Amino acid sequence: MQEGQETYLWWQTGVVYQIYPRSFQDSNSDGVGDLRGIIQRLDYLKWLGIDAVWLSPIYPSPMADYGYDISDYRGIHPLFGTEADFDELLREVHSRGMKLILDLVPNHTSDQHPWFLESRSSRDNPKRNWYIWCDPLPDGSVPNNWLSVFGGPAWEWDESTQQYYYHAFLKEQPDLNWRNPEVQQAMLDVMRFWLDKGVDGFRVDVMWHMIKDEQFRDNPVNPDYQAHMATYEQLLPVYSTDQPEVHDIVRQMRNVLDGYNERMMIGEIYLPIQKLVTYYGIDGKGAHLPFNFQLLSLPWDARQIASAIDQYEGALPPNGWPNWVLGNHDQPRITSRVGMQQARVAAMLLLTLRGTPTIYYGDEICMRDVPIPFEEVQDPQGLNMPDKNLSRDPARTPMQWDDSPNAGFTDAKPWLRLAANYSRENVAVQRNNDLSMLSLYRRLIDLRRNEPALQVGTYTPVYSDMNLVAFKREAEGHDSFLIVLNLSHRPGYFRPQHFPFSGTVEMATYPESEGVSVSDALNLSGDEGLIIRLH
């Protein structure tokens, strides 16, 4: 729904919270988080004000890529629990008035998935064409120059059938052939399976990868490549991703969702804005929320961020609902990128911008990237390119609940080491501190929920100073808000021209500013963010 319409759907008004299940809460003392652990922590999420929970994959998997290599799309990995545990989790989420979003990984399966085992068994197997098989070039080399995101070529030789198969990620993650209608139907059936159970939506993994060039043309060289970057970046993935036909697939997925009541899909898409917004689909019949990752890829610079926000707002199609993200399980944590003080400003930005915010677990207690000793690295991206510091483990460490051994996450050895500071930075400590990051998040979520201008109102940028991001949020018949954020550590002066205002500071990153009456100009401290209720 757009501004001016009377009803908005849950995924427009709500706040999404991403759980990385391995790291949230262990309930059976094996050092790995699980579904019953998540159930134990639902009251916390409700208290925080979360509306929808997205779970990274919980399906059976050999765990070559920690669950993003699925060997059964309809089951639950025993590490995470049973199907009955899942049903209970879904009931418990719903009974608290929250929604559950599952990760759907349609681009690739595990190489242990029965489909792939069949496909690779012989060239004339009926499932041969479910994956992307190609002959070698006449000299025996790989079919083209495409690279794997996780390092090395994207083609793996199959000795017994004498062809290469394509894998955008690990060789243990062969890509499905989405040009095959049987594959399409099989995956749409997977969606129906979970929707019939009552799941509220999907976060669709690497949506822009799903269809590749039919002619398998070579990707061009990236002229901006530098040695510290992942080897994948040597080429521009012009032919291996974001093909026009992908939109037909997304639309088919959308049709399935539209057969149910108020279900939705988020697309994981790392593309420039102009391309990203095409995933809303023609007439808005594509992804409900193509993930907008600008805040995790841009330098933390007020001018760049302010113009990116405006560019995004301007590029959205008529019915496209915006969304914002500060972190996920593939990226460095926001606190490690911008520091403790700016992480508070970032939280204020995330929760006051127009559009659905997604919070990555632990960001609400300012968890930082944890240094993982080389011999403990688990992530294949880190292991495959050891000299490039690309391991994603530091942002996947166990949730810090309290100061008991292992932070209340497990009473066994955790699968990944905990932050050294967990006895100081944890949910229990921060809950009792009005000035903590957790309290800031909770208050921001609460304010957003209670103020239509912040939840669904219009966005208008206000320019004043190089180091500030400022904007106004308005909804007819309700209070308006002016948000002014200092993205630098030095004082900032907000003196917009032709923008007289007066109001009261409703919330601030520093408590001293709250309740203060302001008009026309503001002097902000370094790292200060203000939400002003306008009179």
Is 206 one of the binding residues for ligand NOJ (CB under 6 A)?
A: yes
Show contacts with ligand NOJ in window 247-276 (CB under 6 A). Answer: 268
CB of 399 or CB of 531, closer to ligand NOJ: 399
Question: How far does CA 345 lie from the centroid of its chain?
Answer: 19
Q: Which two tokens mark 335?
A: 């606190």
User: How many Å apart are CA 45 and CA 527, to the nearest integer?
Assistant: 27
- Amino acid letter at 32? V
- Amino acid letter at 355? G
Among 310, 330, 402, 514, binds ligand NOJ (CB under 6 A): 330
Secondary-structure percent of the chain, ordered helix, strand, coil, rounded to 5: 35, 15, 50
- Binding-site residue total for ligand NOJ (CB under 6 A)? 9
Nearest distance in Å: CB 168, ligand NOJ: 8
Binding to ligand NOJ by CB under 6 A, coded x per residue (else -) over 86-125, reads: -------------------x--------------------
Question: How far does CA 277 lie from the centroid of its chain?
Answer: 16
CB of 68 or CB of 293, closer to ligand NOJ: 68
Single out the catalytic residue among 205, 242, 364, 369: 205
CB of 72 or CB of 479, closer to ligand NOJ: 72
Instruction: Go through 498-507 and write b for each residue having 16 or more CB atoms within 10 A of its CB, e for each that does not.
Output: eeebebebbb
Work out the number of other CB atoms within 10 angstroms of the CB of residue 262: 11
Nearest distance in Å: CB 192, ligand NOJ: 22
Nearest distance in Å: CB 519, ligand NOJ: 46
Single out the catalytic residue among 51, 268, 425, 465: 268
Among 26, 34, 65, 156, binds ligand NOJ (CB under 6 A): 65
Is 321 one of the binding residues for ligand NOJ (CB under 6 A)?
A: no
User: How many Å apart are CA 95 and CA 98, to the nearest integer?
Assistant: 7
Nearest distance in Å: CB 173, ligand NOJ: 6
Among 59, 130, 164, 169, binds ligand NOJ (CB under 6 A): 169
Is 465 one of the binding residues for ligand NOJ (CB under 6 A)?
A: no
Is 17 one of the binding residues for ligand NOJ (CB under 6 A)?
A: no
Decide the pairing of beta strands 502-508 and 517-519. antiparallel
Of 260, 250, 249, which is closest to residue 197 (Cα–Cα)?
Answer: 260
CA distances from 322 to 183, 277, 338, 356 (A): 31, 10, 23, 6
- Amino acid letter at 13? T
Asked whether 57 and 20 are in contact (CB, 8 A), the reply is no
3-class secondary-structure state, position 371 = coil
Is 26 one of the binding residues for ligand NOJ (CB under 6 A)?
A: no
Residue 145 main-chain phi, psi, to 5 deg: -90, 10
**340: which residues sit within 8 A by CB, 6+ positions away?**
366
Is 268 known to be catalytic?
yes
DSSP state of 260: S
CB of 155 or CB of 471, closer to ligand NOJ: 155
Sign for the CA dihedral angle at 292, 295, 296, 299 comes to: positive
- Amino acid letter at 88? E
Among 205, 242, 364, 425, binds ligand NOJ (CB under 6 A): 205
Nearest distance in Å: CB 384, ligand NOJ: 12
CB of 218 or CB of 330, closer to ligand NOJ: 330
CB of 64 or CB of 427, closer to ligand NOJ: 64
Is 68 one of the binding residues for ligand NOJ (CB under 6 A)?
A: yes
Is 390 one of the binding residues for ligand NOJ (CB under 6 A)?
A: no
**Which residue, judged by CB position, is nearest to ligand NOJ in the bound state?**
68
CB of 175 or CB of 425, closer to ligand NOJ: 175
Which residues carry out catalysis?
205, 268
Q: Which residues bind ligand NOJ (CB under 6 A)?
A: 65, 68, 105, 169, 205-206, 268, 329-330
